Amino acid sequence: QTGDRETWDKKLDFMLSCIGYAVGLGNIWRFPYLCYKNGGGAFLIPYFIFLLICGIPLFFLELSFGQFGALGPAAIWKIAPIFKGVGYCMMFISFVVCIYYNVIIAYSLHFIFNSFTSVVPWSTCGNYWNSKFCRTNTRSQNMFFWCQMTILNYITLVKTLKTIKFPSIPQYRTKVLRLTDSIDNIGGIQWELMGLLVLAWIIVFVCLFKGVKWSGKVVYFTATFPYVVLFILLIRGSMEEGAINGIHYYLTPNITKLQDVKVWSDAAVQIFYSLGAAWGVLLSYSSLNKFHNNVYRDALSICVVNCCTSFLAGFVVFSVLGALAYQTGRDIADVVDQGAGLAFVAYPAAVANLPIAPLWAFLFFFMLLNLGLDSQFGMIEGVVSGLLDEFPIFKRNRVKFLAGLCFIQFLLAIPMVTESGMYWVTLIDWYASGFPLMCAAVCEITCIAWVYGVDRFLYDIKCMIGRTPFLWQWWKATWSFITPLCILLIMVAHLCFYSPVTYNKIAYPSWAEVVGWMAAMFSIMMIP
């Protein structure tokens, strides 16, 4: 281990940083939706299978590799210098994702500030962003607000399709996004979001400029607070009428769904993304551990916490959505959404109907802020540590280097806070972090298992933890054959089920798809 690298002050600093990084926004807004969409409780079967054969082995391998090498994502490839491009691929993926991830954090800040009112603004119809069709309705002594919009224009005959919409939809699309009709129409800069983006980058910089000595203490709050909020929201949501229906929808298994290849593909991809391997972050974090740290125990513990968090989030989200469906008289399938739609439309609509709505709204969006910041800390730290190990000349000016990196990423995010910004966020998210991650992961595990040697790697782990890992034959089999083949199958499924990028059912022009694939291929081309 090199003597000039900082290390974690305490073991808990490392554990909470890894948990905070791995448990991100996807645990809240992607896993519950996939579980519902793919057969409820039946989805857990392929989910846990891929956790055992792909997720945990890759996570354990990367933590062990980083701790033994004690170097960042690029410099660590001294074991096989020809694979150094894999490290650069990981860092470039993290760099690109950080650009739009802070935009999502800016959305969370917007809703946090709008929660400091006696009545949350997206629960009423008297705002400038509401349409003239917005009206109120009641059910079971609960007030709920509806927004009816004209969405169908059929040649010369204009027909009004009265579709129930939540006031949070115009709040999100009109006030927050001010969305244009397509990515071709870039629109103007949204100065409120621009200011919040500046604030988001300032928060990230302040938390990271002193290195892990400071960020390792910040995560004591940012990594634990979301669990407090999740349990509070679970208890409060379960008290609402209709909550049990949502949980029933969430857990009821539809075994016939297991015959669908897409279900298995979704489970594999979710495991791959949720644990956060192949981003370079785990290499960076574990490289700061003491050499004899029990990385085996850490890897298993973090994986279990991550997956249990996803499962818990499903209860939280669907208890509230079940109550929302009951209050509106709609089927749960009609209020379920994924991604930003779940976080910034469906859930705010549900929270708006709870007593003391501003409090629950603040807690929910403050939780999203903390989840986003933890993941952002990890990705930025991975890029910074990787580049500083490669170019030690910058180490004496680490603060200036970090400030410059944050400023560059802020500039690159400006198109994402224009009126077409959400199209850009969706475009980059669709292409930049999917297929390239799989390429990096399969190259990483192939290099360690077949070029460096799996037996040598197991001996390295024995040197660190003082014994051969339990069930070492299993780890040898997964690293050598099962996990790389699994990742290759995921890549094939990813290509087979590929669909062009869309947002809100709006197709993108051809040039936008080209830009997306260029962002993906630029990362992959780092490898050769």
The CATH number of residue 316's host domain is: 1.20.1740
Whether 351 is in a domain gets the answer yes
Give the chain's end-to-end CA distance (angstroms, integer).
28
Measured in degrees and rounded to the nearest 5, phi and psi for residue 333 equal -60, -25
Residue 3 included in any domain: no
Judge whether 274 lies within some domain: yes
Q: How far is CA 92 from the centre of its chain?
A: 17
Domain annotation covers residue 5: no
**Residues annotated within a binding site for Na(+):** 20, 22-23, 27, 274, 306, 371, 374-375
Is residue 143 domain-resident?
no
- Report how far Cα 394 is from the mean position of its chain's Cα atoms: 30
Please give the residue range of the domain that contains residue 183. Answer: 11-138+150-525
Residue 4, domain member (yes or no)? no
Tell me the angle at which helices 11-22 and 357-390 cross, rounded to the nearest 10 degrees: 110
Q: Give me the DSSP letters along 68-115.
A: HH-S-TTGGGGGSGGGHHHHHHHHHHHHHHHHHHHHHHHHHHHHHHTT
Rounded Cα distance, 286 and 275, in Å = 14
Residue 358 domain-assigned? yes
Could you give the number of structural domains in the chain? 1
Binding site members:
20, 22-23, 27, 274, 306, 371, 374-375
Local mean pLDDT, 10-residue blocks, the chain (528 residues): 71 94 85 80 88 94 96 94 96 94 92 85 67 49 32 24 44 60 88 95 93 88 93 87 88 84 84 87 95 95 93 86 80 66 69 80 91 94 93 88 96 94 89 89 96 96 95 96 93 86 86 93 94
Q: What is the pLDDT of residue 2?
A: 47
Measured CA to CA in angstroms, residue 117 lies from 113, 199, 355, 399 at distances of: 9, 21, 14, 38
pLDDT at 161: 27
Q: Does 412 map to a domain?
A: yes
The pLDDT value given to residue 328: 75
With a threshold of 0.85, does the pTM exceed it? yes
